[in-house]
């Protein structure tokens, strides 16, 4: 019963959200407010259950070391009380330090050394040529000094002669990457629409075959 009510309620809310595509209306505003309210409530519940399960419960079982992160967590709120606001810097500094420590160890090898190695390719096929030229020219695009020899009467907008060519190639590579990213984003958004239609016309109005 609860499942059925939930399914129909979801269907109604989906239709209310889609109604915005045609015109802003009360149904959409109601769905929007409901969403914001639920999202805020869920964030609070999830946050509290994290604190409880990972901090308070183990503390009760005798893991007293967890007092340190719990106190640091409380100190984050000190910034709202001016005489003690400086105390909020301690947990922030701890978080920044821990994040930097955790990140740097993995990033240097996996995202720097391995990636640089992966672009050192023999120029024996078109793929490799595109990869090497694309990477080099993209990096050159971010060099803020003129590259190449100055030809008579040429202004130093991006560089001179060959420098201009390299930067333009870099810009084209970046635009291709952005275009591809945009295309994939459109594809994802359409997938979400398909899923909602599958739900509406599969489970609520059973028109779509199984």
Q: List interacting residues with another protein (CB under 8 A).
A: 21-23, 46, 49-50, 53-54, 98-99, 102-103, 105-107, 109-111, 114-115, 117-118, 131, 177, 180-181, 184-188, 190-198, 201, 207-209
Q: 8 or 81, CB closer to another protein? A: 8
Q: Are 131 and 115 in contact (CB under 8 A)?
A: no
Rounded least distance, CB 194 to another protein, Å: 5
Q: 147 or 196, CB closer to another protein? A: 196
Q: Which residues contact 94 (CB under 8 A, 6 or more apart)?
A: 72
Q: Which residues contact 66 (CB under 8 A, 6 or more apart)?
A: 55, 58, 59
Q: 134 or 163, CB closer to another protein? A: 134
Q: 29 or 103, CB closer to another protein? A: 103
Rounded least distance, CB 98 to another protein, Å: 7
Rounded least distance, CB 178 to another protein, Å: 9
Q: Both ends of the chain: CA-CA distance in Å? A: 22
34 closest CA partner among 2, 49, 12, 50 = 12
- Cα–Cα distance measured from residue 99 to residue 111, given in angstroms and rounded to the nearest whole number: 16
Task: List C-alpha distances in Å: 115 to 104, 135, 195.
Answer: 15, 11, 36
Rounded least distance, CB 111 to another protein, Å: 6
């Amino acid at each position: 019963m609860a499942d059925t009510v939930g399914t129909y309620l979801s269907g109604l809310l989906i239709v209310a959200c889609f109604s915005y595509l045609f015109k802003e209306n009360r149904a959409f505003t109601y769905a929007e407010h409901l969403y914001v309210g639920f999202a805020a409530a869920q964030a609070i519940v999830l946050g509290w259950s994290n604190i409880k399960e990972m901090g308070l419960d183990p503390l009760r079982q005798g893991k007293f070391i967890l007092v340190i992160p719990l106190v640091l967590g409380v100190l984050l709120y000190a910034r709202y009380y001016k005489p003690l606001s400086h105390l909020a810097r301690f947990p922030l500094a701890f978080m920044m330090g821990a994040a930097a420590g955790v990140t740097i160890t993995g990033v240097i090898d996996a995202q720097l050394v391995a990636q640089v190695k992966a672009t050192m390719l023999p120029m024996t096929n078109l793929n490799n040529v595109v990869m090497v030229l694309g990477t080099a020219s993209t990096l050159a695009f971010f060099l803020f000094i003129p590259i190449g020899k100055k030809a008579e009467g040429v202004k130093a907008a991006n560089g001179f002669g060959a420098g201009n060519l390299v930067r333009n190639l870099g810009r084209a590579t970046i635009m291709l990457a952005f275009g591809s990213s945009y295309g994939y984003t459109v594809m994802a958004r359409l997938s979400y629409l398909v899923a909602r239609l599958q739900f509406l016309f599969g489970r609520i109005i059973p028109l779509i075959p199984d």
